[in-house]
Amino acid sequence: MKSLSVFSVLLILFSIFLSACSSLIEGGAESVVPNLGGTRFYSLSSLPPANASNASLRLGVGPLQIPRLLNRPQIISRKNSNEIKMAEMHQWGGSYEEELMQVMTDNLSVLLKTDNIEQYPWKFSFKPNYQIRINIERFDGEIGKSVILKARWRILKNNKELMVKQALINTPVQGKNYADYVKAQSKALETFSRQIAAKIKQLK
């Protein structure tokens, strides 16, 4: 009876050891830090705030659509062109769709120097000069390689479509862990924001 009890304890300890090893392997270099079994949470970053000087420009951002594949807490990357990886130990701190919308709104506010910017759906009293609708078709990549952002976007004025554009942005990942991967995503969104801002400046 005692032997059986010792065997059970050893089996439990061995299971815990295997679980810890599995967590380290999935996380790669970043999870070598003593954080056994702990999930890491990430957030996208936007451009630093700047003084707004273009009070006459009113922008409406959205709707913003993303594929269902991306609309989940796990960070999505690719092992290769056909295989997707969902990182259970590396997740977004909040709603990924809301993060994307907030970063695009912040970036456009900085680049176009206006605080008169609202996210869809905005209040009835807000009348934007321009509305930017965004449909993100792909936003993923390979850890340690690159992030690819593919999107279709439109600029409207008074519900009339002024232009339809496509973006295909390839951003290198400067490192081999998830923090570097998220930084590359933020950089891709900055590039995307600059493309949109440049077109709006042409319309003014």
pLDDT band at 80 (very low <50, low <70, confident <90, very high): confident
Contact 103, 44 (CB under 8 A): yes
DSSP H stretches of helix in 46-138: 96-111
Confidence of residue 15 (pLDDT cuts 50, 70, 90): low
C-alpha–C-alpha distance, residues 182 and 32, integer Å? 18
Nearest Cα to 189, choosing from 139, 142, 143?
A: 139
31-40, 89-98, 119-128, 155-164: least confident range: 31-40
* Rounded-to-integer distance, Cα 42 and Cα 30, Å: 13
Residue 198 pLDDT more than 50? yes
Closest CA to 190 of 47, 62, 66, 49: 47
Residue 33 scores a pLDDT above 80: no
Q: Helix or strand or coil: residue 32?
A: helix
Percent of the chain with pLDDT over 70: 81
- Residue-wise pLDDT tens digits, 120-137: 999 999 999 999 999 999
**Looking at residue 37, what is its pLDDT?**
60
Region 29-53: mean pLDDT is 73
H/E run at residue 131 = strand 130-141
Write down the pLDDT at residue 51: 86
Tell me the pLDDT tens digit for each residue of 46-63.
999 988 888 899 999 999
C-beta of residue 33 within 8 angstroms of C-beta of residue 97: no
Q: What span, in angstroms and rounded, lies between the C-alpha atoms of 152 and 101?
A: 15
36 Cβ contact list (under 8 Å, min separation 6): 20, 23, 24
